[in-house]
Amino acid sequence: MPPLELLTPAEMAEADRLAGDGPALMQAAGRAVARAALRRFRPTRTVVLAGPGNNGGDGYVAARLLEQAGWPVAVAALAPPRPGSDAALAAAAWRGPMLPFGPAAVARAGLVVDALFGAGLARPLEPAVVAVLRAVTAPLLAVDVPSGLDGGTGQPLGHAPQAALTVSFFRLKPGHLLQPGRGLCGEMVLADIGLPAAVLAGVAPRAWHNQPGLWALPEFGAGSHKYSRGHLTILGGASMTGAARLAAMAARRAGAGLVTIAAPDATSAAIYRGAEPGTIVAEDSLGALLADPRRQVWLLGPGLLPDAATRASLRQLLAAGRQVVVDAGALLDADAVAGAAVLTPHAGEFLRVFGPIGADKPAAARAAAARSGAVVLLKGSDTVIAAPDGRVAINANAPPSLGSGGTGDVLAGVIAALLAQGMPAFEAAAAGAWLHGQAATQAGPGLLAEDLITQLPAALSVTKQGLTFGQSSR
């Protein structure tokens, strides 16, 4: 199982400080870079682009070890390290060839190691550095992150190159999972360089890589029954009836004991009743349904229009103290959704409710969660789940095939089902996002929203079996 914690560049710097013994950590980091190169590439003319800081120091160590392994290696240094620094010690141990820093240095390289700047860079790269990186035609191995990538947000600071392989250390950073950073990093290797996990107590991270281990799914014993597994009620629409049906089917697959679609009129009720036999259909008024104390969790939005009727229903549910998952047509504005349990906007809906996301997706989701008092699940290939208390999880297992109609309804149904089964809102949203991505991955190409529902049992079983880090750990 890969580590759960994500560290911002500042938190990683603090972890390094708390661990101490910088030279030993630099040797271990450089060794990890060299080992990754030896495993991933064949011996070839290698150029290490070395910056003046610790990232460059890692590069000098990697250059020395690759040369010892018989590789033809040269170093092109942007600037010398600060005298007396750990990087200066590493540079002094390099006895191989040095090249002038410029585009010509990489012209004949078979592999380029980008050890210029790490994840903590906070300014755009200088034009001379960009020119060198743009001149690279060989595979690029990035140390920590491709230079110019913000490790906190995953956004390029003007320019960041495309890496074939990125080697980072101890814990991933948000920028390794957030787009476009995740794509620019290429294959991701997370190396253990000897930092003790105990330093995390001093860092107190507030972001996690979303995966099993961050949350535990509900478990029920022999005495459990349909009422102990929760009763979810979905407010159905009159026109787009398929949306509520998809959400209901997903909720049942995800373990809700009972699922009711509350139909707005007799005509739509007949449509709902003619569908899946395991879903209850009710024509009662919202007030009558709220009189049943077992109906504590509601899903509002799939198939609904963003109109006055939806606003009134949402207001009534929140006033009654119900836990409400708000999706799609019920994502009206920030005042209307305040007090909900979970909000599930995509980027366009987020803009409508809270305003522009900006360059820092986790910060935007955190601010929205604090403002609304709800867990905010900001959808995308890099879904961010934020709690009002500042916790954030970043989900990175969603394939592009999820970008089609109805998949969001399935996600909302899964989250609402987990909430109905007693999971806290943050954990329910995070687990729902991961299960959604896992089900889509299992379904493969040609995915329809309905396929996700059939894949949910297998996705649920994966959480019991545990995970390996796959391409993200060596």
| pLDDT of 2 higher than 80 | no
Query: Residue 46's pLDDT is what?
Result: 98
What CATH code would you report for 5-205? 3.40.50.10260
Q: Answer yes or no: is pLDDT of 465 > 80.
A: no
Residue 411: closest CA among 402, 422, 420, 423: 402
Please give the average per-residue pLDDT across 396-412, as a whole number. 96
Say what the pLDDT of residue 474 is: 32
Per-residue pLDDT of 183-233, as tens digits, reads 999 999 999 999 999 999 999 999 999 999 999 999 888 888 888 889 999
Residue 62: its pLDDT value, please? 98
Please list, in sequence order, all residues whose beta carbon lies within 8 angstroms of the beta carbon of residue 392, skipping any fewer than 6 positions away. Answer: 174, 206, 207, 208, 362, 365, 366, 384, 385, 386
Where do the domains of the chain lie?
Answer: 5-205, 231-466
Residue 472 has pLDDT above 70, yes or no: no
Q: Write down the pLDDT at residue 1.
A: 64
Q: Is 471's pLDDT higher than 50?
A: no
Which whole number is the average pLDDT over 272-289?
Answer: 95
pLDDT in tens, 111-136: 999 999 999 999 999 999 999 999 99
Residue 37 has pLDDT above 70, yes or no: yes
Q: Which of 117, 68, 63, 112 is nearest to 90 (CA)?
A: 63
Whole-angstrom distance, CA of residue 62 vs CA of residue 82 = 19
CA–CA separation, 13 vs 167, rounded Å? 17
In 10 A of CB 420, how many CB atoms?
A: 30
Query: Per-residue pLDDT averaged across 32-45, rounded?
Result: 98
pLDDT(412) > 90: yes
Please identify, in words, the CATH class of the domain defined by 231-466: alpha beta
> Average pLDDT of the chain?
95
Give the pLDDT of residue 473: 35
Q: According to the model, what pLDDT value does residue 3 have?
A: 81
48-57 per-position pLDDT tens digit: 999 999 999 9
- Predicted local confidence at residue 121, as pLDDT: 92
Question: Residue 468: is its pLDDT beyond 70?
Answer: no
In this predicted structure, the answer to whether residue 311 has a pLDDT above a threshold of 60 is yes
Q: For residue 329, what is the DSSP state? A: G
Which pLDDT belongs to residue 87? 97
- Write the pLDDT tens digit of every residue in 446-461: 999 999 999 999 999 9
Instruction: Give the three-state DSSP class for 109.
Output: coil
- The arithmetic mean of pLDDT across residues 330-357, rounded, is 97
Query: Residue 469 pLDDT more than 80?
Result: no
Query: What integer pLDDT is reported at residue 185 of this predicted model?
Result: 98
Nearest CA to 48 out of 33, 68, 28 is that of 33
The sign of the torsion formed by the CA atoms of 249, 250, 252, 258 equals negative
